[in-house]
Amino acid sequence: MKSYLAAAIQMTSLPELSKNLAQAEELIELAVRQGAELVGLPENFPFLGDEAAKIAQAEAIAQGSEKFLKRMAQRFQITLLGGGFPVPAGDGKVYNTALLIGPSGQELARYEKVHLFDVDLPDGNIYHESGIVLAGNQIPPVYPSKELGNLGLSVCYDVRFPELYRAMMQMGANVLFVPAAFTAFTGKDHWQVLLQARAIENTCYVVAPAQTGKHNSRRQSHGHAMIVDPWGVILADAGDRPGAAVAAINPTRLDQVRRQMPSLKHRVFI
C-alpha cells in the first residue's frame, strides 16, 4: 500500500440521469486534477427523486450508471466507486448497489445494501426504502489493492451498524467507504460522529461521499462529505455545496495509530 490521495465527491442529485452524470463527471475531473487516485461517488448519484419514477427507469439508470463508471475510471485512470444506484432485482424491486471499478474499466467489487432505511422522522418525513429496494444478504466485500489498501464497501444507513464494519476489518479492511444520502435532519446530529466512531473503533480510514442540498420539495440532504483518519481526525470536509473532500491515505499513519492504540488486539468477544 502506498500513500495517495482519495476523494469523497459531494453532489446534489436530481431525478434526471443525464444531468446527474454530467455533474458527476465534472466533480470527478475536479478531484483528479487535485491528484486523487481513489474517488467515491455518493449514494443515489445517478438519480434522486420519486420512488415510482426510479422503479420505472431502473433498467436505464442501472445500465447508464455502470457504463458511466467504467468510462470514467478508464478515462481518468482511477479506481472509482459508484456509491449506490438501483439495479433491477425482479418483482418490481431493485438492489441499492455500490460498484467499485478499476482503472482498466473492470469491475472489482459489488455490494447490495443490506440495511434499508425504514424510518419515520420527527420532522414529518417518512422513508420506506424497503418499499422498492430488496435488501442484500451478504457481508460487504473487501477488495485487496496492493497500491490503495484493502477497500471495504458499505452504503449510507449501514453506518449505524458497527458489526458490519468490524466484520470488514476482520477481513483486512483498512479503508472503509461510506457513500451516503444522509437526511438533513439526522445528519446534523449523527453523520460526523458515526463516521468518526467507525474510523476510531476499527482504526481505519473512512471515505464518505455525500449528497447535499434540496432534491425536491420534501427531500434535503445533509452534505459534509468527509475523509476521516484512523484516529478519528477529519482530514477533509466538503461543507454543504457540491464539490469534493480530498485527503491523503497514508499507510505510515495507519500503522502508527494501530501501534499506539492496539485495541484491535485486545478484543475479547469478537
Kindly list the domain boundaries of the chain, sorted by start residue.
4-266
CATH number of 4-266: 3.60.110.10
pLDDT of the chain along its 270 residues, tens only? 999 999 999 999 999 999 999 999 999 999 999 999 999 999 999 999 888 899 999 999 999 999 999 999 999 999 999 999 999 998 899 999 999 999 999 999 999 999 999 999 888 788 999 999 999 999 999 999 999 999 999 999 999 999 999 999 999 999 999 999 999 999 999 999 999 999 999 999 999 999 999 998 778 999 999 999 999 999 999 999 999 999 999 999 999 999 999 999 999 987
- For residue 76, what is its C-alpha cell? 481518468
Which residues are identified as catalytic? Answer: 43, 113, 156
Between CA 116 and CA 134 the distance in angstroms is: 8
Sign of CA dihedral 18, 19, 25, 28: negative
DSSP state of 232: S
Q: How many angstroms from the chain centroid is the CA of residue 148?
A: 16
Grid-cell match 425536491, residue found: 216
Q: 3-state DSSP call for residue 35?
A: coil
Residue 148 CA to residue 207 CA, distance in Å, equals 12
